[in-house]
C-alpha cells in the first residue's frame, strides 16, 4: 500500500520544557488503522499534532503523500484539509453558534459555493448520525454529540487521513462503542485513521498496527499482538496487557494453545477453545442463520414495520450510524451495537438466528467477515437477506 504519512527522525521540545519527542520515525500506509499507545506524557498528542502541521518539529521532517510539510499558510491549509484532526476536547474545536455553521466553516473557507457547502454539510451530518441537528446550538449537545459535530466538521473537508486524539475520552462505555463503530464505518469508506489512546483493550482488537510510546520514543511498533506481546515493555509503559492477550499467553505457557494463536476477539478465543476440545462441525446439529436487513435495498421497502416481529424471535445488531437510526425509528432495542458481526457469529455457533441491520455499503463487509471465519474454522454459517424470511 502507498505511504500516505511519514515521520523522519522528528524531535520537538516545548519552550522552556523537556524534550517531548526524541527522534521518532514511522510511516503510515493508505487505508491503515493505526493506534498510537502510551501513558499520559508519552508524547502522543505532540506527535499527532505534527501530522497536520499544528506543531513544527525542531528537527527532522513530516511528510504527507511523500512531500515534506511546508509551514506557510497556503501549504498548511492544504495539509489540514488532507489530514483532519479531531481534538480530545470537542469544546475547543466547536466555535460556531449552531451545528450547521460549525460544520460549514471548513468547506466555506475552502471556497465552495453556497449550494456545495450545504450539500457537503448535510452529507457530513448524515455520516455521523446528526441529521436534523442543523439549528441546534452546541451547548445543548451531549459530550458524544459534540464529538460527532467535531468529526462532521472534519469530514466536510473530505480528508484522506483522520487523526483522533483520545477519541473515547469523556464518553461512557456505550458512547465509546458507538464512536469506535463510527470509526470502523469511516475506515470502511476508505479513510486512513490514526488514534491515540492509553487503552490497550480498545487498541488491541481495533488497530492494524500499534506504536507503543514512552517518554518521547517508540518502544515497539508492530501488529498489536506483537507490539503488546512483551509484558516487560507494556509494564515499562505503565500499561496493562489486554485481557485476551494475557489469557492466550497463559494458555500458551501451559502448552494449551499454540504460539501462533493470538486471539484478538471473543470469537477468536472461542474458536481456539473449540479446536482444543476437538469440536468439529460434524458434531453440531445445525448453525443459526445471520439475517441481513439492508436499509438501502428497495426490495426491503414495506418490511421496516415488521422488524419488531423479528426482534421478538432473535437478537438484533446494527452496523453504521444510519442503521442504528433506522432501528431506533422502528423502536427496536439493539442487543449489539459494536463488534456486531462477531457477536452474531457467536450466536450462530449456538444454533441461534440473529439479525444485522446495516446499509448497502456495509453488506459486503458482513459477508466477507463471515466467509473469512468459515474458511478459517471449517464451520458453515450463512448470511441471508431478511426479506427472504419475511416474504
Pick the CATH number of 3-243 from 3.40.50.2020, 3.40.462.40, 3.40.640.10, 3.40.50.300: 3.40.50.300
pLDDT at residue 284, as a whole number: 54
pLDDT at residue 308, as a whole number: 73
- C-alpha distances out from residue 78 to 3, 83, 157, 284, 367, Å: 18, 9, 10, 57, 37
pLDDT at residue 156, as a whole number: 94
Whether 386 contacts 314, CB under 8 Å = no
Q: Check pLDDT > 90 for residue 388.
A: no
Whether 45 contacts 165, CB under 8 Å = yes
Q: Answer with the residue of higher pLDDT: 1 or 78.
A: 78
The CA distance from 379 to 188, in Å, is 26
The CA distance from 341 to 267, in Å, is 10
3-state DSSP helix/strand/coil percent for the chain, to nearest 5?
A: 45, 20, 35
The CA distance from 214 to 16, in Å, is 20
Question: Domain spans of the chain?
Answer: 3-243, 284-390
Q: Check pLDDT > 50 for residue 244.
A: yes
Express each pLDDT in 253-287 by its tens digit.
888 777 677 788 888 888 888 777 765 444 556 89
Q: Check pLDDT > 70 for residue 211.
A: yes
Same topology between domain 3-243 and domain 284-390: no
Instruction: Kindly state the average pLDDT of the residues 134-142.
Output: 93
Tell me which range, 63-67, 261-265, 329-333, is most confidently predicted by mean pLDDT: 63-67
Instruction: Kindly state the average pLDDT of the residues 222-233.
Output: 92
Express each pLDDT in 69-96 by its tens digit.
999 999 999 999 999 999 999 999 999 9
The CA distance from 281 to 351, in Å, is 12
Q: Give the model's confidence band at 216: pLDDT under 50 very low, under 70 low, under 90 confident, else very high.
A: very high
Give the rounded percent of residues in the chain with a pLDDT score beyond 90. Answer: 62
Look up the CATH superfamily of 284-390: Tetrapyrrole methylase, N-terminal domain (3.40.1010.10)
The CA distance from 75 to 82, in Å, is 11
The CA distance from 348 to 191, in Å, is 31
pLDDT at residue 257, as a whole number: 79
Residues 6+ apart with CB under 8 A from 349: 270, 284, 287, 288, 379, 381
pLDDT at residue 268, as a whole number: 87
The CA distance from 340 to 347, in Å, is 11
pLDDT at residue 58, as a whole number: 96
Give the rounded percent of residues in the chain with a pLDDT score beyond 70. Answer: 95
pLDDT at residue 347, as a whole number: 92
Express each pLDDT in 18-58 by its tens digit.
899 999 999 999 999 999 999 999 999 999 999 999 999 99
pLDDT at residue 282, as a whole number: 47
In eight-state DSSP terms, residue 336 is B
pLDDT at residue 317, as a whole number: 93
Instruction: Kindly state the average pLDDT of the residues 290-295.
Output: 92
Q: Strand runs (DSSP E) across 57-100, as ranges?
A: 59-64, 67-68, 83-86
pLDDT at residue 237, as a whole number: 92
Amino acid at each position: 500500500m502507498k505511504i500516505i504519512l511519514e515521520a523522519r527522525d522528528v524531535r520537538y521540545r516545548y519552550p522552556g520544557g523537556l524534550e517531548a519527542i526524541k527522534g521518532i520515525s514511522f510511516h503510515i500506509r493508505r487505508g491503515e488503522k493505526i493506534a498510537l499507545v502510551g501513558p499520559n506524557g508519552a508524547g502522543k498528542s505532540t506527535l499527532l499534532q505534527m501530522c497536520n502541521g499544528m506543531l513544527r518539529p525542531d528537527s527532522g521532517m513530516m511528510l504527507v503523500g511523500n512531500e515534506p510539510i511546508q509551514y506557510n499558510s497556503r501549504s498548511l491549509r492544504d495539509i489540514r484539509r488532507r489530514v483532519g484532526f479531531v481534538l480530545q476536547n470537542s469544546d475547543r474545536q466547536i466555535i460556531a453558534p449552531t451545528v450547521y455553521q460549525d460544520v460549514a466553516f471548513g468547506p466555506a473557507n475552502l471556497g465552495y459555493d453556497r449550494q456545495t457547502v450545504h450539500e457537503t454539510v448535510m452529507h457530513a451530518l448524515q455520516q455521523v448520525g446528526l441529521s436534523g441537528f442543523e439549528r441546534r446550538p452546541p451547548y445543548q449537545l451531549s459530550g458524544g454529540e459534540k464529538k460527532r459535530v467535531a468529526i462532521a466538521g472534519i469530514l466536510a473537508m473530505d480528508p484522506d487521513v483522520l487523526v483522533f486524539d483520545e477519541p473515547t475520552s469523556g464518553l461512557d462505555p456505550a458512547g465509546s462503542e458507538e464512536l469506535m463503530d463510527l470509526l470502523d464505518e469511516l475506515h470502511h469508506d476508505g479513510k486512513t485513521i490514526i488514534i491515540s489512546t492509553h487503552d490497550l483493550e480498545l487498541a488491541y482488537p481495533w488497530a492494524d498496527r500499534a506504536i507503543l510510546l514512552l517518554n518521547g520514543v517508540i518502544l515497539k511498533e508492530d501488529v498489536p499482538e506483537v507490539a503488546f506481546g512483551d509484558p516487560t515493555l507494556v509494564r515499562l509503559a505503565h500499561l496493562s496487557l489486554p485481557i485476551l492477550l494475557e489469557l492466550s499467553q497463559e494458555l500458551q505457557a501451559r502448552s494449551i494453545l499454540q504460539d501462533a494463536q493470538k486471539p484478538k476477539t471473543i470469537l477468536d478465543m472461542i474458536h481456539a477453545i473449540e479446536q482444543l476440545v476437538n469440536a468439529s462441525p460434524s458434531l453440531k446439529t445445525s448453525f443459526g442463520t445471520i439475517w441481513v436487513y439492508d436499509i438501502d435495498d428497495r426490495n426491503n421497502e414495506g418490511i421496516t414495520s415488521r422488524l419488531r416481529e423479528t426482534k421478538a424471535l432473535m437478537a438484533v445488531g446494527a452496523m453504521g450510524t444510519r442503521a442504528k437510526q433506522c432501528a431506533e425509528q422502528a423502536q427496536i432495542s439493539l442487543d449489539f451495537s459494536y463488534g456486531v458481526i462477531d457477536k452474531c457469529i457467536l450466536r450462530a455457533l449456538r444454533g441461534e438466528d440473529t439479525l444485522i441491520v446495516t446499509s448497502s455499503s456495509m453488506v459486503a463487509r458482513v459477508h466477507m467477515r463471515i466467509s473469512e471465519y468459515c474458511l478459517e474454522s471449517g464451520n458453515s454459517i450463512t448470511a441471508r437477506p431478511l426479506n427472504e424470511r419475511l416474504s
